[in-house]
Structure 1
C-alpha cells in the first residue's frame, strides 16, 4: 500500500508540474472617447482552447468588431497595429468558420450603458509556440464585423468593421516558461491520459518492488 501511495505521490507531482505550464495573458485597451477595457486570455496547454474574458466600457451600444491584429505597435495608436493576425494568408471569416484569420474573434456587444462584458473559448488562437498571439494587439472596432458574409469589398479582408476605437498589446499576466517541447503550427504537446497515468503508476510500483 505504501508503494502505491508513493507512486501516486510522484504522479501527482508530475501532474502539478504539467499544470504549471498553463499560460495567462492580458491586454489593457485604451482608445478614443473614453473607451477602456481589460481582456484576459488563458490556456492550459496548446492542446486546449484559449479562454478569453472581455470587459470594455465607453462603447456605443451594439455590436463591435473584435480582433487580434498582427503587431503590438501602438506608436501611432491603433493605426499601427497592422491588419488582422493572419499567418495562413486566408480570407476573413467568423470565429466558427474553418477558413478565418487567426485573429478573427467576431463581435462583442455593448449594452445601452456602453459596456461589453463576455467570455468565450477559441480553438484557433494560441498562447503557445510559433503562432502565439503574445506581443500582438487586440483591437475593438467602431462598427459591426460582417464576418465575411456580405458583398462589401472589405468583407473578406476586415469584415467591414469600421474604424479602430480601442486597442492594447497582449502581454504576460502571470510569469511562465515556454516548455521544452515548443508548440508550433499543427503541433501539440503530449498530455497525459488516464491510461498513460495508470501505466506509469504500474511501472513505478514494479520498480519499487525490485
Structure 2
C-alpha cells in the first residue's frame, strides 16, 4: 500500500510539473492595415497635410508631409481624445488621448499620455516629413488604446514635456480625425 501511494504521489507531482501553464490573453492588436489623417488648418493657421498611419511592431507608425509652418520652427504633435475637428480652434478634439490616466510627458518616458509624441521640426521651406513611431497604441479593434476615430493635432509651439496637462504647446494649428481606410 505504501508503495502504491508513493507511486501515485510521484505521478501526481510529475503531472503538475509538466502541465502547461496558462498563457495570458494576447495584448490588443491593431485590426486595421492603414489609417489616414488629413490635417486641416485650425486657429487661422496655414498648416495642413496628409498623414498615413500603419500598425507596426508595438504601436502605430505615422508618415506624411505637413506644411505651412514658419521655416525651421518646432511644433508639438499629439493624438487627442475625440475625432472631432469641427471647432475653428480644434478645441472640439478634447484633451490628449490618455486612456491610462498618466501625467503628460515625453514619448517613451516612464510616464506620458498614450497620445504624446516628440516635437516635429519644419525645414527651411516650412515643411515636416513625418516619420514617427507611436508606441503602445493600436489602430482599430476598439481596445482602450485604439487611436482610430481620435484626432491628430499639431500645435503652434513646441511641447516642453513637463507642463501639465498638455506641455504648454500653444494653439492648435491643424487637426484631423484619424480614419481607417483599410
Query: Cα RMSD over matched residues?
Result: 1.6
Q: Which runs of 5+ in 2 are unaligned?
A: 1-30
Structure in which a larger fraction of residues adopt helix: 1
**Deviation per residue, 1:4-35 (Å, 9 max, x gap):** xxxxxxxxxxxxxxxxx552101000113321
Larger RCO (CA within 8 A; separation ≥ 6):
2
How many residues are paired up?
Answer: 146
CA contact (8 A) 2:155 2:169 kept: yes
Match of 2:120 in 1: 108
The answer to whether 1:57 aligns with 2:67 is: yes
CA contact (8 A) 2:66 2:129 kept: yes
Match of 2:142 in 1: 129
The answer to whether 1:169 aligns with 2:182 is: no
Relative to structure 2, which stretch is displaced further, 137-146 or 66-75?
A: 66-75
CA contact (8 A) 2:58 2:137 kept: no
CA contact (8 A) 2:66 2:130 kept: no
Relative to structure 2, which stretch is displaced further, 136-145 or 60-69?
A: 60-69
Q: Which runs of 5+ in 1 are unaligned?
A: 1-20, 149-154, 175-210
Could you state the TM-score of these two structures normalised by the residue count of structure 2? 0.75
Mapping 1:14-163, distance limit 5 Å: 23-31=33-41, 32-43=44-55, 48-61=58-71, 62-77=73-88, 78-127=90-139, 128-130=141-143, 131-148=145-162, 155-163=163-171
